Chains A and B, each alone.
Chain A
Amino acid sequence: MTLDASLVGRSYPPSAVYEVGREKIAEFAAALGDPDPVYRDPVAARAAGHPDVIAPPTFAIVLSLGAGDVVLADPDVDIDYSRVVHGEQKFVHHRPVRAGDRLVATASIEAVRSVAGNDMLTTRVDLATEDGEPVCRTSAMLVARGSAS
């Protein structure tokens, strides 16, 4: 089985609004063992030039994981999820995600490839505020091992 090249460019409806909370950011920073005060203390964040506490650069994965499920649920995306591993991940930040953000995630298919019997699917998720301000673009490359054989 091979992923259909015509899937490239397919876009999915935007997600419901995700409201970024200070406690969730602090929880994520703690899970990385990162003591940086800009993740917890609004005063420290403002001193660093941010309107409120900001999230670690990889926090966007929380939203992009959920948004990417839309792609895997697409019946045209014929991929065996039990064989999927995370191959690559990229983040491009227009600005840091911060507490109080009301974000909408829009998923699309950026690339499909088949190499040495492995299917590779690159899903892009654009995060923007509900008012349309771009915040972050993420790309996840998933590899379905041996599914093309």
Chain B
Amino acid sequence: MTAVVRFADVEVGTELPGQVSRVTRADLVRYAGASGDFNVIHWNERVATEVGLPGVIAHGMLTAGLAARAVTAWAGDPGALVEYSVRFSRPVVVPDDDQGAEVVVAGRVAALLDDDRVRVDLTVTSDGAKVLSLARAVVQL
């Protein structure tokens, strides 16, 4: 594993480059196939609203995967991400249009750990609201 970022070059507060993604219904279908998660609430508006959701929602792990991308792109080697945890605090509602939903990811180094590891805390929002909380990655630099 060879992270491009060096431990000596980061400090608590170092910010990761921000990332903005758009998630459309087509992206949900693609993620369903790739992940094997075919829960109907991720593709069927009728069922989603019947169970009390505002509409079709993104797979939590799709949102978490997009957020992890911001960390792996920064680190320079996805193999450097050794721990990753998220809490799904709010669903990302994906409208039936060409624009989809926006997922905005910001991250900063929150702690320097032993063995040249750092903890990165992520802030992940859609439509101005936090969709993940306690989104944290441990990166081996």
Residues of chain A whose beta carbon lies under 8 Å from any beta carbon of chain B: 24, 27-28, 30-34, 36, 38-39, 48-50, 54, 56-58, 61-62, 65-66, 82, 85-93, 95-96
Contact = CB atoms under 8 A, between A and B. Distances in A.
11 contacts: A33-B21, A49-B77, A56-B69, A56-B72, A57-B84, A65-B35, A87-B88, A89-B60, A90-B85, A91-B85, A96-B79
A85 B88 contact: yes
A87 to B, nearest CB: 6
Interface bin, chain B = 20 to 34
Interface of B: 1-2, 21, 27, 30-31, 33-37, 51, 60-62, 64-66, 68-69, 72-73, 77-79, 81-88, 134
Contacts, number: 105
Contacts of A57: 68, 72, 78, 81, 84
A32 B78 contact: no
A86 B84 contact: no
Given A36-B73, A39-B78, A54-B78, 14 more contacts: A24-B34, A28-B34, A36-B78, A57-B78, A58-B68, A62-B34, A82-B51, A87-B88, A88-B85, A88-B86, A88-B88, A90-B84, A90-B85, A96-B78
Given A49-B1, A58-B64, A93 B35 contact: no
A49 B64 contact: no
Contacts of A32: 31, 62, 65-66, 69
B56 to A, nearest CB: 15
Contact of A54 (B31, B36, B64, B79): B79
A58 B60 contact: no
Given A48-B2, A49-B2, A58 B88 contact: no
A61 B83 CA distance: 14
Interface centre among A31, A49, A95 (most CB of B within 10 A): A31
Contacts of A89: 60-61, 64, 85-86, 88
B33 A86 contact: no
A86 B88 contact: yes
Given A56-B72, A57-B68, A58-B61, A92 B82 contact: yes
